[in-house]
Structure 1
Amino acid sequence: MDEVVSIYDAHGNPVGEAPRTRVYAEGLWHASAGVLLRSLDGTRIYVHRRAPDKAVFASMYDCLAGGVVDPGETPEVTARRELAEELGVTGVDLTPIARVSWDGTWDGAPLRCHLYAFEAHYDGPVHHQASEITDGWWWTEGELRRHLQDPEWPFVPDTRALLENYFD
């Protein structure tokens, strides 16, 4: 069954909904939200590898647990839902940290997305959703920054763009 997601205009306003396959095939503007999970003391960031059968950015690395905004959801609601689904983390405060509009490509097709990032602090257990994540670990900010500076490292490009100035 094809999931229905919210579609947006180029300025970031929700304008309707469409099946996810159509959004990706036609490069329709949509929105996604994710959470950068830090340790309680702020020194470590959770990094994970996406599952190989994901529709976009399969098997790439990411540091945001997130996904597309569903009809009727706000980016914060989406961020909370995705954090719970992908990492099993609930009951944390979310702080907005970044927002960008990304106009890129994936698999030869345009991919246009308004990206919303939040940050949460947490030291409890992490439980991966197997259909979304194959592995994960904690890195220091320095370790993550070194990897992000390597253009050959297979990191999700929209998260890379979203966090471009975050660590400065």
Structure 2
Amino acid sequence: MGEQVERVDEHDRVLGVVERAEAVRQKWLYRMAMVLCRDASGRYLVHRRPEHSSRFPGEYSWLVAGAVNVGESYEDAARRELREELGVAAAEVRPLFTFLCDGELSPYWFAVYETVVAEAEVVPDAAEVAWHGWLTQDELGTAMASWKFVSDSRDAYARYRTLTH
């Protein structure tokens, strides 16, 4: 059996449990949690996905992300993704915004969180992260304009910029 997620409606109410692959094939809504990481000086963590990745190979993102498990809160999923992808075990996450995303692979509810972590805390999982670095706000803006970023990551960035400006 594949990864199980909660199928939700346009108001983020649970309709039932389905396999994530089926939700993607059928274009059913489910939940995703994303975390943007900053360091104490305000720089943003950016990473590139491995070339062999099944989703968005070789593309960049400024968020760590994953599907919300059945019975899991967005916040718990955000903390889990930090542990799984970056090896960050004890970070506090703060909710920023949630929106209905018409994702490239499938539509889903997209909850974005923020955390502050020390550079030394980050020990990426090589299966998820091929490269990572820290960019200032201006450098991130420049990268967004010239690097190949995961499309949903770009959408979240545009929304984030409206909150911070």
User: Which structure dedicates a bigger proportion of its chain to helix?
Assistant: 2
Q: Assess if the C-alpha contact under 8 Å between 2:104 and 2:151 holds in 1.
A: no
Which shows bigger deviation, 112-121 or 6-15?
Answer: 6-15
Q: 1:60 to 1:32 in 2, by over 3 A?
A: same
The ranges of structure 1 where at least 4 consecutive aligned residues each deviate by more than 6 angstroms after the TM superposition are none
- Corresponding residue for residue 10 of structure 1: 10
Pick one of 137, 141, 163 that aligns with 1:145.
141
Deviations 1:42-62 (A, max 9, x none): 2x1100011234333232111
- Corresponding residue for residue 64 of structure 1: 63
Deviations 1:25-73 (A, max 9, x none): 111101111111100132x110001123433323211111120011000
Shift of 1:98: 2.0
Pick one of 104, 114, 122 that aligns with 2:117.
122
Deviations 1:98-149 (A, max 9, x none): 211111433xxxx101101111111133111122111111111111112223
Q: Could you tell me how far apart the structure 2 residues matched to 1:146 and 1:100 are?
A: 25
User: Which structure dedicates a bigger proportion of its chain to strand?
Assistant: 1
Name the SS of the counterpart of 2:36 in structure 1.
strand
Q: 1:64 to 1:142 in 2, by over 3 A?
A: same
Name the SS of the counterpart of 2:160 in structure 1.
coil
Is it true that 1:112 corresponds to 2:107 in the alignment? Answer: yes
- Corresponding residue for residue 159 of structure 2: 165
Counterpart AA for 2:156: L
Name the SS of the counterpart of 1:18 in structure 2.
strand
Correspondence 1:2-41 to 2 at 5 A? 2-41=2-41
Which shows bigger deviation, 11-20 or 62-71?
Answer: 11-20
Q: Assess if the C-alpha contact under 8 Å between 1:34 and 1:117 holds in 2.
A: yes
TM-score by length of 1: 0.88
Shift of 1:12: 1.5
CA RMSD of aligned residues (A): 1.6
Correspondence 1:73-84 to 2 at 5 A? 73-84=72-83
Residue ranges of structure 2 left out of the alignment (5+ in a row): none
Equivalences, count:
161
Q: Assess if the C-alpha contact under 8 Å between 1:98 and 1:162 holds in 2.
A: no
Counterpart AA for 1:145: G
Q: Could you tell me how far apart the structure 1 residues matched to 2:96 and 2:34 are?
A: 10
